[in-house]
Chain A
Amino acid sequence: MSETILHATNLRRTFSEAGRELHVLRGVDLTVRRGEWLSILGRSGSGKSTLLHLIGGLDRPTSGRVVFNDETDIFTLRGAKLDRYRNAHVGLVFQQYHLMPELNALENVLIGAMLGRGLLAWPGHRRQARERAEQLLARVGLSERLTHRPNKLSGGERQRVAIARALINRPQVLLADEPTGNLDIDTSASIMELFHDLHREGQTLVMVTHDHAVAKTGDRTVTLSKGKLAGD
């Protein structure tokens, strides 16, 4: 196993809007090592979310590469393989939680596992996946809330469900985009506590934040400014 999980080289992302070119990332180089907790600090609009989306395979860069596990540039992956990367190798946590309102907590977690299996393969994995989902929800302190739908959960609880969902397929990297941005101080602290625990258990974490205090909890902080990374 390599020390480096993700290696981004010269990432550039330019958006065109109303005929104007908006250079959000202007050549970012970034390395994420196995087991580390990397915080990317930056102001609003500095491009930190864009960087996270690129690493997570949600978006494609204007130029540059992201090599995963020293093997492949994920942007050379086509369709289904890139979907597979997002599903199995990275886990995404968003500021707005992005849970599905029709599904209860358990189903919201399970859906990530379902995505990786076909209709026919699913019954064979159902029990195992369900056990894992229940474990994860218990792990984030929601074992009593399995059948609650998101509208019956508090913000902190929703974020915990979202974290459980991100972890269901045992991703090598957990990508979190301002995970405490919508939460009050106490709840934020408990979420950060959870991240700490996960990190202690060996989970690699990449967290984007605008909050210096939050960023400091990580092993290492990089700052994104004017589309470039400043200092390690």
Chain B
Amino acid sequence: MYKLLLISKYLRRKLAPLFAAVSVSFCTAMVIIVVSVMGGFLGLMRTTAKTLTGDVIVQSQFTTGFPHYDDLTERLDNLEGVELATPVVEAFGLMRLSNNDQVVQVRGIRPGEMSRIIGYEGSLLWTGQDYADAHYGDLDVATRGKIAERFDLMLAGKTLTQPALMQVLLSDVAANRLRSALQEDAGLRDAFRPTLGALLLGDREGRLSDELLRTWLAEPEAEELVLLRLRGTLLLDPGLLDTPGFPAFDDAAAMVIGVAVNRYQRRDREGQYHFVDPETGYINSAAGTRASITLVPFSPRGELAFEPVRREIGIANEFKSGFYETDQNVVYVPLGWLQEQLQMQRSEDIDASTADPFTGEGGTVSITPARVHQIVVKAEPGQDTDELAARVRRVVEAFSEDHDDVSSMALTTITWEQKHGALLGAVQNEKGLVTFLFAIISIVAIVMVATTFYMIVLEKTRDIGVLRAIGAPATGVLGLFLTYGLAIGVLGTGLGVWFGWAVVTNLNHIQDALANRMATLVAVVAMAFFAALAVTVAVAVLRRRRQREFSIGAGVLLFFAVCVLLFTGVYYGFPSIDIPALASTDARIGWRMWDPQTYYFERIPDQVEWSEVLWIAVGAVVSSVVGAAIPAIIAATLNPIEALRYE
């Protein structure tokens, strides 16, 4: 009991142990912040990596890919624990977008299936309305609405095909087809007459004569102009698409590009992308335009047997996976389209030497089956990935045995973790290292506690002697100082956990304030701090003047209480605090500790992992007790008589 009495007195009347507690607090908070942010970062990366990859991937080691993938996909689909398996073709291509060349990773996918695996549809950014508003802002709302419908970029992204209107408007080939259809089909001409008449003559009454129209359509010199006007007609009146006789357009392949593949796109200070740049007014998005892609096909034997192919393809939409690496490099195209470009589709070759030399018939037909590079597998919820990978591996082995031409393809099965092992491992290492470094720094706290306690032991030597003289056992003195260390540790750790939690959960607010309103923040915090100090000093002076007791502990407590009160006010009131004098300084200075323009993720992870906090807290408390241990042992082994004589 005397220990508790003395500890409570020492805590209230001594400043030094409170400093020790504060250093324990800061060390605890520091480690909590580091572990939380790095852990959150790792967690985000893992989630993103997993969502972008699928759970298990079966892939060929060769650029040629492997055949009979439909068989393998079916076998995997039927495997227990597999929700879905889908084939993917992967190639590198040179993409030219607005005179900008760059290498991209082209992934041929089945969009519907892929969406169920990687949440691809949810990552699409733009709607038709974005497109219509940006490109046809001068048209009236109703017309823009119609264009938006026809240009449904979401749908285009989901199906990886272009809507008919988009095709006609984007490709000269399609527009020319429309032109010849108009020349031949009188009914179609009639349908187009009012809109085209309005465009050409500024009149909608149908006074544009059939002859004038046909002459105009046949005008070879004005080809560019004709095509442009036809596009304008469709834009003004998208309903014309439904006219009988309007040439049918097949679903044409389109691609969806990572939003950062488009070099004209940039993130604002909050890390957001915009269709139209809010500052410059330029259209940043490439959605609804065209790009060309150059691809290099490989023969089934892996030779560079064909000429590189260059293809024009519409951009249906842009996606943002949330993972900058992917957003910057990946474009999605339909699986079949990419197979065709890369000569990976099913093909029949006739050996001319075995054919009848006269009729040219008969020759031996060799069939080359279609190929893909990988099969992405999504596990059922709750399925253990490694365990599933093992079963997938067995299926792949059986599959390889059943197909002679597959066995040499060296199919490997890896999990998403292995696929991103290098990156995840790096972040994991980073987290481990940083935690270790900060733990080392935390030794400072132990040393601080030890120093403080040593000083206390020196100062309290006579008290220790007295305690021993009136019957306190040596173990009691040891216990006194260890309990004191424990109290400091618990107090410091409690404050530290609170502080760490407050910082971590408000990191993004703090960074916003630092980035945009630094001067105001510094001013307000300083004011609150000095106000608290002033209140404390005033109360202390007043109490002393009235001969009333005012201990250090009471002062510290009062200071903290006023600080908490004022800072709470600052915290909740900050958005509405406006100091006009500081506005220009705010605009000039600012520090963004986490720049979403240059980082993978937009926001700083701000989740506290309480199981980790528990370990950190236990560590901090134990450290404090350890720090107090040596001085405590010294105190306990003091000779009572010498202690009493100590000056």
Contact = CB atoms under 8 A, between A and B. Distances in A.
Interface string B457-479: 00000110111111111101000
Interface in A40-76: 53, 56, 58-59
A84 B640 CA distance: 15
Interface in A84-127: 84-88, 92, 94, 98-103, 107, 111-112, 114-119, 122
Given A102-B13, A107-B5, A114-B2, A58 B640 contact: yes
Given A58-B640, A119-B1, A122-B1, A102 B6 contact: yes
A53 to B, nearest CB: 6
A80 B640 CA distance: 15
A111 B9 CA distance: 13
A100 B466 contact: yes
A122 B467 CA distance: 17
Nearest to A125: B1
A119 B5 contact: no
Contacts of A92: 469-470
A211 interface: no
B355 interface: no
B463 A53 contact: no
B6 A83 contact: no
A103 B9 contact: yes
A86 B469 contact: yes
Interface string B283-301: 0000000000000000000
Contacts of A84: 471
B539 interface: no
B594 interface: no
Contacts of A53: 641
Contacts of A83: 471-473, 476
A214 to B, nearest CB: 21
Nearest to A122: B1
Given A59-B641, A103-B5, A119-B1, A79 B465 contact: no
B644 interface: yes
Contact of A98 (B10, B462, B474): B462
Contacts of B9: 102-103, 107
A102 B10 CA distance: 7
B469 A56 contact: yes
B471 A116 contact: yes
B593 interface: no
B13 A115 contact: no
B4 interface: yes
Contact of B474 (A56, A79, A116): A79
Interface in B605-647: 640-641, 644
B470 A100 contact: no
B473 A119 contact: no
Given A58-B640, A102-B6, A117-B1, A112 B465 contact: no
A228 interface: no
B602 to A, nearest CB: 54
Nearest to A98: B466
A165 B13 contact: no
B2 to A, nearest CB: 4
A119 B479 CA distance: 12
Interface in B465-498: 465-474, 476
Contacts of B473: 79-80, 83
A91 B465 CA distance: 14
A87 B471 contact: yes
Chain B interface, DSSP helix/strand/loop, else mixed: helix
A101 B12 CA distance: 13
Interface string B439-472: 0000000000000000000000011011111111
A115 B468 contact: no
A120 B6 CA distance: 17
B463 A58 contact: no
B469 to A, nearest CB: 5
A114 B471 contact: no
A97 B66 CA distance: 95
Contact of A86 (B1, B2, B470, B474): B470
A98 B471 contact: no
A71 to B, nearest CB: 18
A101 B10 CA distance: 10
Interface string A133-176: 00000000000000000000000000000000110000000000
* Residue of B6, B9, B471, B644 most packed against chain A (CB within 10 A): B471
Nearest to A99: B466
Contacts of A119: 1, 3-4
Contacts of B6: 100, 102-103, 111
Given A98-B462, A111-B5, A58 B471 contact: no
Contact of B470 (A80, A111, A117): A111
Contacts of A87: 470-472
Nearest to A117: B1
A83 B3 CA distance: 16
Contacts of B476: 83, 115
B526 to A, nearest CB: 35
B468 A114 contact: no
Interface in B257-314: none
A100 B1 CA distance: 16
A129 to B, nearest CB: 10
B470 A115 contact: yes
A165 B1 CA distance: 16
A56 B469 CA distance: 8
Contacts of A85: 471
A123 to B, nearest CB: 9
A97 to B, nearest CB: 9
Given A98-B465, A102-B13, A114 B470 contact: no
A136 to B, nearest CB: 14
Nearest to B471: A87
A11 B469 CA distance: 20
B644 A98 contact: yes
B5 A114 contact: yes
Contacts of B465: 98
Contact of A114 (B1, B462, B474): B1
A122 B2 CA distance: 10
Nearest to B9: A102
A122 B6 CA distance: 15
Closest 4 CB pairs of A and B: A87-B471, A102-B9, A114-B2, A122-B1
Interface of A: 53, 56, 58-59, 79-80, 83-88, 92, 94, 98-103, 107, 111-112, 114-119, 122, 165-166
Given A98-B462, A111-B5, A112-B470, 4 more contacts: A58-B640, A102-B9, A115-B470, A115-B472
25 contacts: A53-B641, A56-B469, A58-B468, A58-B469, A59-B641, A79-B473, A84-B471, A85-B471, A86-B468, A86-B471, A87-B470, A92-B470, A98-B469, A100-B463, A100-B466, A101-B463, A103-B9, A111-B6, A111-B470, A114-B5, A115-B472, A115-B476, A116-B471, A117-B1, A119-B4
